[in-house]
Amino acid sequence: MTKLLEADIKSLTITELSKRGFLDSSSLLMNELTVGNFDRRVDLAFTNKDRLIAIEIKSEADSLQRLEGQIETYAQYFDKVIVVVAPKFVSKLKCSTPSWLGIWEISNDGLRVHRKGRYRNKVSKSNLIDFLDVVDLKKLSNKFKIKCGNTRYSLEENISNLPQRELRRAVLASLERKFRDVTERFFDGFSKAQKNGQDLKLLSRFLAQKELALEKRKSNRYFWANLDSYLESLREYADEKPFDANQPSRHLCPEHHLYYRNKAEYEDVC
């Protein structure tokens, strides 16, 4: 039996969420979302209507050592918390975790729900505000004409007087701004049944920047690996006789920083 890695479990979980109707066109899907002053990183999080749901994954290779603290933190920020675990953890979790916690078992045979769990709707104002960055806080203060300073502390202090429903709307709007594009990119053009672990990178908010940085690193590595050849090409070029129209021209490859004797050689290499 093939052991499922965390990426595989995430992929299967997303597929199951879609099949069961938890994810629809209005949902937002978030991978490795940080909460609790960046102390915790949620494996998967998603929105369902106006509710926030967190999913913690424990594969065969994991332990339950940190799970109690993770559940405690997630319960402060999310309306519902679900753990998706390997079969070996199910029995212990069923008798050692609160009844509101959802417990899903994942294996090569599929997913089995042992405990649905329930929505608690007990996210405090301060924890809702934690979801908001300074841009969100300023938008909210402007919307309600609240006078406050530009520091986060000042913004939070004044925003906290707003009704909880307005703070929740602001959180959902903030998540929409940050994760709508990546959610649509993830699902666009794919059947929900064909997801695999490699697709999870599409949930990165900064995928384009990461890919550009990777290309730059590759280019730099190529340059330094071929530095001797590059310098030799420069020396040969500097030592050449004055231009002679009867001699073949030399072509510079801007990507590889090398000179080639003629156009044919340049095109063949580059």
d(CA 234, CA 259): 8
State CA 63 to chain mean position distance.
23
Mind listing the pLDDT tens digit for each residue in 216-227? 666 667 666 776
DSSP one-letter code for 259: E
Query: Do 215 and 228 touch, CB atoms closer than 8 A?
Result: no
Between 73 and 223, the more confident residue is: 73
215: its two tokens: 């290309």
Mind listing the pLDDT tens digit for each residue in 178-206? 999 999 988 875 554 455 556 777 777 65
Q: Which residue type does 155 have?
A: L
Backbone angles phi, psi at 145, to 5 degrees: 55, 45
Query: Do 256 and 222 touch, CB atoms closer than 8 A?
Result: yes
β-sheet bridge partners, residue 58:
85
262 falls in which pLDDT band (50, 70, 90)?
Answer: very low
The arithmetic mean of pLDDT across residues 218-239, rounded, is: 69
Residue 41: half-sphere exposure toward Cβ, Cα within 13 Å: 3
On whether the pTM is more than 0.85, the answer is: no
